[in-house]
Structures are given as structure tokens and as C-alpha cells.
């Protein structure tokens, strides 16, 4: 092959990059390109989107790294569906290489690009990069996708060999990427030209690009053995904080799996299980793209969620009167991140205490999370709402006060985000409405909202809603009717 176009998407790194490796290995001449896709960007509700800036900063770093090695990266702004075939034609590419993406939007976009390329006699080659095992590499004995995480994890671990996480070597011929000389109008657009604000990440502990990922990985490498013990306590520095880097591919999943496997401690093993959850949800979303809108357990689509007026707004504006929920929602608003335990608590609270449709919560997280990943978010919301694949049945309902007492025992996390509770003693910080009034002291209802709902009453309503849709306590989930697919 003469010329290849390497299309980078959510693999914004030099290290261990499958598309770069394959594209450069197979062609004499190659170009690398990234498209700020208007089909995505134009639909974003805010012009101060932190993800756009994260991508932009990562690209600045990646382009500089490529140029230092004699290479080049072209950055376009337009609809990828037309920009990629047009760019491929302009440079006379025989084929386009890209890392496979499993989200429904990406699958459709790639099919459209492949069709357009094919009409011009070119091919689109999608290679595995963002997962260890692709959606149809791990199937049950009857050849169907796993619907339950634990057997999936068992199969994943049993199949894993060293070659599955071996890195793709850094191509020696990166200078071949300079062959497509830049022409006028090829300069990387600034954020303003893209229609977005700069400075959205200022003050946040998140550094874009491979350098940011490496720093987090080094830091986490020293804490990984303690992960199992620390990960559930939001006031502690327990998790890796690598999710945004995984989302945009500024770190390779193979590097993370290698770290976990080589460390081989209990903490590393627990962390590896979380990486497998990520892959489990990617696999499910690929096989069942309709779960973006529908519960995996379809019978619960029949629930008419009351969405009581004011509930959704109180939740997203951190005014529910439940400190752990409100502190978590402020963390999200302030930083674009939320601790995993808190994602579970706030999602459960929105659905099972406030009786708001899980899809509204999923959309809100989709707008606010810098690490937003459709597969993990839809999976996490369905798990919390009790309409998903497994593990969390609908009749198990988190109590926000006992969750708070258990995972933030001294209220350290709560007080970090709710300074209005600074003077409330530990004994009442999880449920300040229970605190007796003292003259001149904290008054619940004045200094902080009274609880928006009574948990016990809300719980009873939730159980009734699920039963009305055919929920029988203890009954296992029913698999969806649609057939599995293959990557072809
Ligand atoms: C309601 C809800 C919504 C969520 N939305 C997202 C989302 O949009 N994007 C996202 O990346 N994760 C999401 N998660 C999963 C999890 O909360 C985050 O991955 C994690 O908090 C990110 O922090 P970390 O990188 O420090 O995690 P670590 O604990 O260090 O975990 C390492 C990596 O494993 C993966 N991972 C960990 N837990 C899960 C999980 N439960 N499901 C899937 N992957 C997991 C992530 O890629 C994460 O970066 C959601 C969970 C819930 C309950």
C-alpha cells in the first residue's frame, strides 16, 4: 500500500497506539488526522465544555511530540462523515486506519465513513485499541454475550495472556507522517475558532495529554496495593483518577492492565476488576445499543416515573437536604468528576428516592462528567436504578444516611463541599434535620435545606412502582430478546 490516513479519535497518544502502528507499518507514506467533529460539538449544550478543552490540550501535546520526531498531525473542524473521505481523497490515501469504537453514534459514523470511502475505492480498517477483548471475543459457551458480570470477569481473566496486554511498539517511521505537507488553512484551530471557551480546566487537578496520564499513573502506582481498602471512601485519595485519560486514550488500557497484573497484590486485583467492568459495559453497549434508551430489563420500561416537580432540579442543584447527595452533586459541578461510591449513591437517590426517570440522570451526568463514557454511564445508571444487567436488584435500595455514615464516617467529604455544615457535629452531619436546635447555632431549614423526601416513604413508593411493572422480589433478570452481533 502506498498511502495511509491514520484517523485518531479517542486514542490521543503516541505510546502503544494501535492505529498509528498499523497505519505506519502497512504504508510507505502516511498522514495522521484528528477531526473536531461538528456532529458532536454542535450538539453540546455548553460552550464551556471541559472535555473539548481536554481534547484540545491533549492534541497540542501530541502534535508537538510528533513534530519533535519529524512527524505531523492535521487537525480539522467539520463533520467527520465528510471530512475524512475528503481528506483521504486529497492526500490520495489507499486506506484509512482508526481504532474501533463501540458507542452507537461512533458505529454509525464509521459505517457512513466506510461507505463513502468505499465509493472512492478506499478502505476503512478498524483495529482493536481501547479494550483487551473485543465484544465478540468473549462469549458464553452457547456463543452469546455475557449478561452477568461475574462469569464475564472469570472468562476474561482465564483468557488473558501476556500478548493481550503487550504494547504496540512506537513506530520508527513517525517522520513518514510529515509527507502530507501542511497547506494553507491546515493550522490547528484554537478553542475560540471551534466555538468553545478556554480556561475551563483551570484550577482543577487534571492535566491533559499523555504527560497528565503518566503523572497520575506514577502516583497511583504507589497506592495501588491499598486500592481495595481506600477506594470506597470519597474523602480519601483511593482511586486512580484515570477515567478521563481512559476516555480519550491519553493512556493505553494495556499499560494499565500490565501494571495490575505485574503488581499482583489484592489491591491491584480489585482495580483490575474495575477495568473489566469498563470492558463489560463496552461489550454490552456494542451488543445492545438500544440500552442507551431502554432498560436492559425491558419490563421496567413500563414504569411511569412520576418525576415530581422540583425533584430533578433540587438534585442537580444540590438542594435535596441529604448532605452526602448534595456534597457529591457539588463535587460534580465544581470539578466535572464524582467519586464512584457517590455516583452510585446519587444515582440511586434520584431514581429510588426522588422517583425521577434514570434517563434524565444519565443525561445530566453526560453533560457534566469530563470522563463521560456512554457505556460506563448507561451501565452505571441502569445498575443503580435496578433496571440493568445484574448485581443490583431493584428491591435493594441504598439508604443515603447509612451510606453516608459508612463511607464518610467523620463527614470530612461532606464538609469539603458543604461548608454550611462546618459547625454540625459528626453525629448529625449525615442527617442534620435530627440535630436539636441550639440558641445561635445551626438551624436546619434555614442554614441548609430540610430533606426533600422521607426515605422510608420514598422507598415504599419505589417498591410499588417496580411491582406494578412486574417486578417480583428475588426474580433473576430476563435477557433481552435481540440477538447478539459480531464485529465482522
Ligand atoms: C451512575 C454511574 C455513572 C458512571 N458514569 C461513568 C462515566 O461516564 N465514565 C466512566 O469512566 N465511568 C463511569 N462510572 C464508573 C466509575 O464511577 C468511574 O469509572 C470512576 O469513578 C472513575 O474514577 P477513577 O478513574 O478514579 O476510577 P478507578 O477506581 O481508579 O477505576 C479505574 C478505571 O476503571 C474503570 N471503572 C471503574 N469503575 C467502573 C465501573 N463501575 N464501570 C465501568 N468502568 C469502571 C474506569 O475506566 C476507571 O477509570 C459510573 C458509575 C456509576 C455508578
Quick check: is 381 catalytic? yes
CA–CA separation, 238 and 118 (whole Å)? 48
Q: Show the low-confidence residues of the chain (pLDDT under 50).
A: 479-484, 488
Which of helix, strand or coil describes residue 313? helix
Rounded Cα distance, 301 and 287, in Å: 19
* pLDDT in the model for residue 487: 54
Residue 480 Cα distances to 51, 216, 272, 437, 475, angstroms: 33, 39, 28, 53, 15
pLDDT of residue 485: 57
Nearest CA to ligand 1 atom 19: 243
Q: Which atom of ligand 1 is nearest to the CA of 242?
A: 25
In ligand 1, the atom with minimum distance to the C-alpha of 347 is 1
Instruction: Give the pLDDT score at 135.
Output: 93
Do 147 and 478 contact (CB within 8 A), yes or no?
no
Closest residue by Cα to residue 305 from 362, 226, 221? 362
Q: Which of 1.10.1060.10, 3.90.1150.10, 3.40.50.150, 1.25.40.80 would CATH assign to domain 131-167+210-287? A: 1.25.40.80
Q: Give counts: helices (H), strands (E), the chain.
A: 20, 5
Closest C-alpha residue for ligand 1 atom 16: 340
The pLDDT value given to residue 243 = 98
Active site residue 118: no
The domain defined by 298-468 carries CATH number 3.10.20.440: no
Q: Could you tell me if the CB of 171 is within 6 A of ligand 1?
A: no
CATH class of 3-128: alpha beta
If phi > 0 it is left, if psi is from -120 to 50 it is alpha, else beta; for residue 201 that is alpha
Cβ(233) – ligand 1 distance below 6 Å: no
SS3 266: helix
Class of residue 167 by CB neighbours under 10 A (exposed 0-12, middle 13-18, buried 19+): middle
Ligand 1 center to 371 CA (angstroms): 8
Spatial distance between the Cα atoms of 263 and 31, rounded to a whole number of angstroms: 38
Whether 305 is catalytic is yes
Q: Is the CB of 180 under 6 A from ligand 1?
A: no
Report the C-alpha gap between 379 and 371 in whole angstroms: 14
Which residue in the list 134, 137, 333, 340 is annotated as catalytic?
340
The ranges of the chain annotated as CATH 1.10.579.10 are: 298-468
Q: Where are the domain boundaries for CATH 1.25.40.80 in the chain? A: 131-167+210-287
Q: What is the pTM of this model?
A: 0.96
Sheet-wide strand order for 29-37: 74-78, 29-37, 3-8, 95-99, 123-127
Distance CA 248, CA 142 (A): 34
pLDDT at residue 389, as a whole number: 86
Question: Atom 51 (ligand 1): residue with closest C-alpha?
Answer: 380
Distance from Cα 242 to the centre of ligand 1, integer Å: 9
Ligand 1 neighbourhood includes 280 CB (under 6 angstroms): no
Q: Strand, helix or coil at 205?
A: coil
So what's the pLDDT on residue 481?
A: 43
Binding site membership of 380 for ligand 1 (Cβ less than 6 Å): yes
Measured from the CB, is residue 376 less than 6 Å from ligand 1? Answer: yes
Cα R_g (the chain), whole angstroms: 24
What integer pLDDT is reported at residue 176 of this predicted model?
85
- According to the model, what pLDDT value does residue 178 have? 78
Q: How far apart are CA 130 and CA 99, in angstroms?
A: 7
Catalytic pick among 7, 315, 381, 394: 381
Backbone angles phi, psi at 21, to 5 degrees: -60, -50
Catalytic residue among 305, 333, 399, 420: 305
Contacts of 287 (CB under 8 A, 6+ apart): 135, 145, 484, 485
Q: What is the pLDDT of residue 136?
A: 92
The residue whose CA is least distant from atom 22 of ligand 1 is 243
Establish whether 279 is a catalytic residue. no
Amino acid at each position: 500500500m502506498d498511502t495511509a490516513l491514520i484517523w485518531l479519535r479517542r486514542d490521543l497518544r503516541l505510546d502503544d497506539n494501535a492505529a498509528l502502528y498499523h497505519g505506519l507499518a502497512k504504508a510507505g507514506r502516511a498522514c495522521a488526522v484528528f477531526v473536531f467533529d461538528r456532529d458532536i460539538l454542535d450538539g453540546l449544550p455548553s460552550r464551556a465544555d471541559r472535555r473539548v478543552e481536554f481534547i484540545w490540550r491533549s492534541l497540542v501535546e501530541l502534535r508537538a511530540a510528533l513534530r519533535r520526531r519529524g512527524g505531523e498531525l492535521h487537525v480539522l473542524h467539520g463533520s467527520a462523515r465528510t471530512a475524512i473521505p475528503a481528506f483521504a481523497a486529497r492526500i490520495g490515501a489507499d486506506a484509512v486506519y482508526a481504532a474501533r469504537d463501540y458507542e452507537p453514534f461512533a458505529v454509525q459514523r464509521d459505517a457512513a465513513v466506510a461507505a463513502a470511502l468505499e465509493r472512492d475505492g478506499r478502505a476503512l480498517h478498524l483495529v482493536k485499541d481501547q479494550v483487551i477483548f473485543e465484544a465478540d471475543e468473549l462469549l458464553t459457551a452457547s456463543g452469546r454475550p455475557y449478561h452477568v458480570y461475574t462469569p464475564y470477569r472469570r472468562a476474561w481473566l482465564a483468557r488473558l495472556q501476556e500478548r493481550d496486554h503487550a504494547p504496540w511498539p512506537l513506530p520508527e517511521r513517525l517522520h513518514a507522517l510529515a509527507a502530507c505537507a501542511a497547506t494553507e488553512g491546515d493550522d490547528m484551530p484554537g478553542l475560540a475558532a471551534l466555538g468553545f471557551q478556554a480556561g475551563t480546566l483551570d484550577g482543577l487537578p487534571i492535566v491533559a495529554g499523555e504527560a497528565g496520564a503518566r503523572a497520575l499513573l506514577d502516583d497511583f502506582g504507589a497506592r495501588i496495593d491499598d486500592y481495595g481498602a481506600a477506594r470506597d471512601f470519597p474523602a480519601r485519595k483511593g482511586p486512580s483518577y484515570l477515567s478521563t485519560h481512559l476516555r480519550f486514550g491519553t493512556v493505553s488500557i494495556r499499560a494499565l492492565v500490565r501494571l495490575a497484573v505485574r503488581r499482583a497484590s489484592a489491591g491491584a486485583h480489585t482495580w483490575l476488576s474495575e477495568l473489566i467492568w469498563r470492558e463489560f459495559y463496552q461489550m454490552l453497549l456494542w451488543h445492545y445499543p438500544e440500552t442507551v434508551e431502554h432498560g436492559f430489563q425491558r419490563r421496567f420500561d413500563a414504569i411511569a416515573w412520576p418525576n415530581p416537580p422540583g425533584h430533578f432540579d433540587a438534585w442537580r442543584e444540590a438542594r435535596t437536604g441529604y448532605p452526602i447527595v448534595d456534597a457529591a452533586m457539588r463535587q460534580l459541578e465544581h470539578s466535572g468528576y464524582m467519586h464512584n461510591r457517590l455516583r452510585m449513591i446519587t444515582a440511586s437517590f434520584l431514581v429510588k428516592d426522588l422517583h425521577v426517570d434514570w434517563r434524565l440522570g444519565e443525561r445530566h451526568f453526560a453533560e457534566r462528567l469530563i470522563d463521560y463514557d456512554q457505556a460506563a454511564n448507561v451501565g452505571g445508571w441502569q445498575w443503580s436504578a435496578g433496571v440493568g444487567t445484574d448485581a443490583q436488584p431493584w428491591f435493594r435500595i441504598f439508604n443515603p444516611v447509612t451510606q453516608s455514615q459508612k463511607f464518610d464516617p467523620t463527614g470530612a467529604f461532606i464538609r469539603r463541599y458543604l461548608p454550611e455544615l462546618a459547625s454540625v457535629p459528626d453525629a448529625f452531619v449525615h442527617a442534620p434535620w435530627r440535630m436539636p436546635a441550639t440558641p445561635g447555632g445551626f438551624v436546619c431549614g434555614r442554614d441548609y435545606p430540610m430533606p426533600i423526601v422521607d426515605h422510608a416513604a420514598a422507598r415504599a413508593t419505589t417498591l410499588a412502582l417496580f411491582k406494578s411493572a412486574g417486578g417480583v422480589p428475588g426474580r433473576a433478570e430476563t435477557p433481552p430478546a435481540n440477538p447478539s452481533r459480531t464485529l465482522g
